[in-house]
Structure 1
Amino acid sequence: MIVVLAIVLGPIIGGLLTGIDRKITARLQGRFGPPIMQPFYDVFKLLGKEKFINNKVQIVYVITYIFFAMLSFVLFVLGQDLIAIIFVLTVGGGAMVMGALSVRSPYSQIGSQREILQMLAYDPLLIITAFGMFVVTGSFKVSEIVNYQIQNNTPLLYVLPLVFIVLIEVLSIKMRKSPFDISAGQHAHQELVRGVHTEFSGPYLALIEVAHWYELMLALGFVAIFFASNWYIAAALVIVMYLLEIILDNTTARLTWRWMLKSAWGFGIVLCAVNVIALYFI
């Protein structure tokens, strides 16, 4: 039952959040904006389009991508191992990159190369985040991390504040929000057209959008787990973080991939390391 609910409700909530994102973005830009349900209208319209593809192997990669995106979210909901979840998420992202690389479009090629750079930026930070949780709770399993906070009434946010700050950057990179929307973007300011998604259309692009909703829910799940001792506060924290990401997306300029890696590997890894090392002296 939990698995079914995760599979069904995950993209529904993710799609609604995407619609809210578009609405708030439009208001910040002085526009009325589309209805909140617009992402669902877009997906249903894409599903009805002609099945056109440049390379049949792209179909395999798209199915692989959405399967692993869905699997990573389901594993998180079931309270499984964080390292395994990150690995599954990375495999799905790799499939997306391979699908983009399987065609000769320069937009798709460059977009996929930048997507690899984004994965290299956020994957180490996610692993360090999971390690920090392990140092505090003694486990990588989501269920045990949650139980530790409930039993000790000690939110991870209190003991891993620097790691949580880095998580904001991770979310921006993973969700392809400015200033880290270098491989693809939801808005018209993307010089790569649709970047890594350029050569996907119709039903296949619809599946990619749904997979993105699963990834969005997983990313926000990482935020919620930092205050699992009180789910009301955790929900409020998720809302605040999501609004912050939307505001940053509309008020910052895109960085180059070099600056992205410098900020992730320099600023991000250093902050995480300082926080984790400090735990041994507290």
Structure 2
Amino acid sequence: MKSVVFVLGYLILAPFVGALLDGADRVITARMQGRKGPSILQPFYDLSKLFSKQMIAVNNVQLLLNLSYLGFIVISGGMLFGGTDILMCLFILSTADMFLVMAASSDSSPFANMGAAREMVQMMAYEPLTLLVAVGFYLASGTFHVGDIIQSDLSPVLYMPGMLLGFMFTAAIKFRKSPFDLSTSHHAHQEMVKGITTEMSGTTLGIMNVAEYYEKVLILGIFALFFINSSWWSWPVAIVLCLGIYFLEILWDNVSARLRWKTLLFSCWLVTLLTAGVNLLILILMK
């Protein structure tokens, strides 16, 4: 019953929580840059405007691919918050990313196609660490099952500090934060216009935004797994720490410049090796 409540909570509340986080992101970013910035509710206004526009897609499959992208993210998040297999959850999340790449590649825009190519590079950069994080949870708790991981006596972060640091590093890609916002960016300085979302407008762009809100909550949910244990107080602590991590991602976004794709790959793989790789080796030796 508890799993059903968590799944329904994710399905219903995640887009609202994600939009509020996006609004807070804009406000904090504006303050860091010495601007007043928009209202924290601006993402809701944007979505309302997008979904009220006439639905125009550049081809017959783009809307379907965008809906598939949203659907697989929702399924992945539902599995995580439902307490099922985290490894399968991450595999489905990767599948969702492939639908996004196909959606961007489905039109003839050079900016969208370049964004799709860069999205593939980003996937190559963060997927190895994501997989190692799932393996780390297994070695730390003896199971891939999220429902069992959160019932551990000790928080997994005590066994996986390196993986947490590595995941924080690569999460900037999933949050589309600088210096890793190569495929698309929420900032005006993107040299490819809007990259993968260049040819998306109205409903298709609205679906893309909603999917990003679901994914944002999903990624923060994975962060929460590092801190949650069988004690009730670990839940509020995990929420506070996740918000702190998100703030650090915003801060990093505002103090760093975008990297070249080769630097992105090298830095992510190096961090994966030095953090998750070493952490994984230690866990194996401990077992």
SS in 2 for 1:254: coil
Q: Please report how far the alpha carbon of residue 128 of structure 1 lies from its aligned counterpart in structure 2 after TM superposition.
A: 0.3
CA distance in 2, matches of 1:269, 1:202: 41
* Pairing of 1:1-282 with structure 2 (within 5 A): 1-2=4-5, 3-148=7-152, 152=153, 154-229=154-229, 230-282=234-286
Q: Which amino acid aligns with 2:44?
A: F
CA distance in 1, matches of 2:275, 2:12: 37
Q: Please report how far the alpha carbon of residue 4 of structure 1 lies from its aligned counterpart in structure 2 after TM superposition.
A: 2.7
Q: Which amino acid aligns with 1:184?
A: T
Q: Please report how far the alpha carbon of residue 43 of structure 1 lies from its aligned counterpart in structure 2 after TM superposition.
A: 0.5
SS in 2 for 1:280: helix
The aligned length equals: 278
SS in 1 for 2:189: coil
Cα deviations by residue, 1:20-74 (Å, 9 ceiling, x for unpaired): 0000001111110000010011001000111111111101101101111111111
Identity of aligned residues (%): 39
SS in 2 for 1:267: helix
Cα deviations by residue, 1:213-244 (Å, 9 ceiling, x for unpaired): 01000110111111102112111110110000
Point out where structure 1 has 5 or more consecutive residues left out of the alignment.
none
Aligned 8 A contact 1:175 1:216 in 2? yes
SS in 2 for 1:147: coil
SS in 1 for 2:226: helix
SS in 2 for 1:95: helix
Q: Which amino acid aligns with 1:186?
A: H
SS in 1 for 2:151: helix
Q: Which amino acid aligns with 2:199?
A: E
- TM-score, normalised via structure 2 length: 0.95
- TM-score, normalised via structure 1 length: 0.96
Q: Which amino acid aligns with 1:155?
A: S
CA distance in 2, matches of 1:113, 1:50: 29
Q: Please report how far the alpha carbon of residue 199 of structure 1 lies from its aligned counterpart in structure 2 after TM superposition.
A: 0.7
CA distance in 1, matches of 2:96, 2:55: 22
Cα deviations by residue, 1:154-207 (Å, 9 ceiling, x for unpaired): 111111111100011121011110110000011111111111111110011001
Q: Please report how far the alpha carbon of residue 269 of structure 1 lies from its aligned counterpart in structure 2 after TM superposition.
A: 2.8
CA distance in 2, matches of 1:78, 1:269: 31
Aligned 8 A contact 1:14 1:216 in 2? yes
CA distance in 2, matches of 1:71, 1:279: 30
Q: Which amino acid aligns with 1:17?
A: L
Q: Please report how far the alpha carbon of residue 280 of structure 1 lies from its aligned counterpart in structure 2 after TM superposition.
A: 3.4
Q: Please report how far the alpha carbon of residue 76 of structure 1 lies from its aligned counterpart in structure 2 after TM superposition.
A: 0.7
Aligned 8 A contact 1:86 1:123 in 2? no
Q: Which amino acid aligns with 2:81?
A: V
Point out where structure 2 has 5 or more consecutive residues left out of the alignment.
none
Aligned 8 A contact 1:112 1:195 in 2? yes
Q: Please report how far the alpha carbon of residue 144 of structure 1 lies from its aligned counterpart in structure 2 after TM superposition.
A: 0.9
Aligned 8 A contact 2:141 2:156 in 1? no
